[in-house]
Amino acid sequence: MHSTTKISLTTLATLAIALALLQGTGAVQLTQGDDIGESIVLEPHPGPNGQYAYYDEDDELAIELTASNPDVEGDGPNDDAVTAIPEVFTITNEGDSTARVWIESGHPLATFTARDGSIEGADRAVHLAPNESVAVGLRVVTTDDVLPDVVVDSFEVNAVVADESDAGSGDAGTDDRTDGGTDLDIPDETLTTVASPAPNERRVRIQNPDGPVTVDLDGMHVAGANVTLDRVAFDATVDRTVVFDAVGRPEPFGGLPGIGDGRVLRADGYVQVDDERIPTGVADATVYASVDRDYLDWRGADPDDVTVYRLADGEWTALDTRVVERGERVHYAANASRLSSVVVATRLPAIEVTDARLESPRVAPGEAVTVTAELMNAGLADGERTVPVTVDGEHVGSLTVELRAEESTTVSERVSFDEPGEYELSVDGVDAGTVVVADDSPPVTDEPADPTQQGTPAAADREPDPAQPGTTSPRTDTDTAPPRLVVLMVVTAATLLVVVVLGRRLVAP
């Protein structure tokens, strides 16, 4: 059994294609030896170009690029041009066996395409695993000498069950196709095909995987060309075709959770892999990515701080990531137990001031007070940071530290004051305290000193607190003679004593 339709071109060089199917839903039957069966289903593609495919008044799927299509604006393909229209309709294998599907057309101006190539002819058949779909598009070439309303050709949609060696025959015994068919022999070695619908998208298909497999993704964009996914490698011990898609974007998408808050970990790009389609026999995967060196410098990132994370059970897990090549781009390899969605991220330092204090709350004009700060790196990478020391909000000094991840240290800075007063000090916004700048001694006057009016803050007249060794304002005791006067009195008394003794000796009989 087969499906046949006509292709016509009008004077506007538009193309109208109607797929006459056995059932209104586009369902056809697939059995061993038959061309098409119930397990093969054709439907409009859910993407934007799916509007060219619709069900007509006979409930048959039609593909129409003319102005008569009720869902499309415009007059169809341009005159004297090549027009590519991808993803117009889909072919889905809803059966339990792998199927080979292809289209026979022979149309000189229109070619059916799928997976970045022609799908016309048995030698270009696509293989559909159970519940797998393929998007089919058109490439139309129009010229100035196309005659109006001429039936150019007819085409057929063919499908057969692939045998155990994945080498189905195009001329089965019950085949009533008019083209006679051709045999398609699939080689025993692994055959890998990679389609690139967009710079940030790859569609991978691996036939006959047996052992180590490497898939070249040709620098798939993840964050533009700044971050790319270059290839993936894994061991595959499965007896079925491995098919998966990979899409990259700089921000989370498609249900992928974000990673980090940008403080200790910053995402550079996400890659979504539909790992549900990947059989369990695919394991021991290695992801190869690269990052532009200028991009790293612009982000202020150390190349050694880039890490690949894998999504498992809804959580991001860091992979063993190593640098394999340095140059204009830095290339990385990350080992994973299974191929799945990944994110390329940069580990960041997070150095913060955790405490700040003053060595002394009181100094004299011209003297310096010591400001001490404790800093800790709460980030995931080593780093360096300079923090400001401020007095009443004005920058007066800086403290610079280099810390490994989760390391802490204590640093100090001395700040002097020329004018008396009270000053608020802080380190990177963390309050260190208030320092009082004043003379230690009370002013000298002719009037007796009033012990309650010393002319300095009351705190200066109290005994230093032993628990506060930083206090540098000793109390002035006014009831005790100055040390110099005591020395003078002692010397004078000694002199008088010597004079008296000598005098007595001189007058002795």
User: What's the pLDDT tens digit per position in 124-162?
Assistant: 888 888 888 889 888 776 655 443 332 334 567 788 887
Question: Is residue 402 within 8 Å of 416, Cβ to Cβ?
Answer: no
Provide the CATH number for the domain around residue 390: 2.60.40.10
474 within a domain of the structure (yes/no): no
Q: Are residues 295 and 418 in the same domain?
A: no
Q: What is the CA radius of gyration of the chain?
A: 43
Q: What local confidence, expressed as pLDDT, does residue 450 receive?
A: 45
305 within a domain of the structure (yes/no): yes
The residue out of 326, 347, 368 marking a domain boundary is 347
Q: Are residues 316 and 258 in the same domain?
A: yes
Q: Are residues 253 and 382 in the same domain?
A: no
The residue out of 161, 179, 214 marking a domain boundary is 161
- Beta-carbon contacts of 201 under 8 Å, excluding residues fewer than 6 positions away, are 220, 245, 246, 247, 248
Query: How many structural domains comprise the chain?
Result: 3
Q: Are residues 20 and 47 in the same domain?
A: yes
Q: Are residues 99 and 215 in the same domain?
A: no
Range of the domain at 358: 351-461
For the chain, which residues score pLDDT lower than 70?
Answer: 1-38, 56, 58-61, 65-82, 106-109, 141-155, 163-188, 440-509
pTM of the model: 0.51
The residue out of 161, 183, 218 marking a domain boundary is 161
Q: What local confidence, expressed as pLDDT, does residue 432 receive?
A: 95
CA dihedral 82, 86, 88, 92 (to 10 degrees): 140
- The whole-angstrom separation of Cα 307 and Cα 319 is 7
170 within a domain of the structure (yes/no): no
444 within a domain of the structure (yes/no): yes
Q: What local confidence, expressed as pLDDT, does residue 328 receive?
A: 94
Q: Are residues 24 and 129 in the same domain?
A: yes
Buried b / exposed e along 261-293 (16+ C-beta atoms within 10 A): eeebbbbbbbbbbebeebbeebeebbbbbbbbe
Q: Are residues 262 and 146 in the same domain?
A: no
Q: What local confidence, expressed as pLDDT, does residue 147 receive?
A: 38
- The whole-angstrom separation of Cα 55 and Cα 70 is 11
Provide the CATH number for the domain around residue 326: 2.60.220
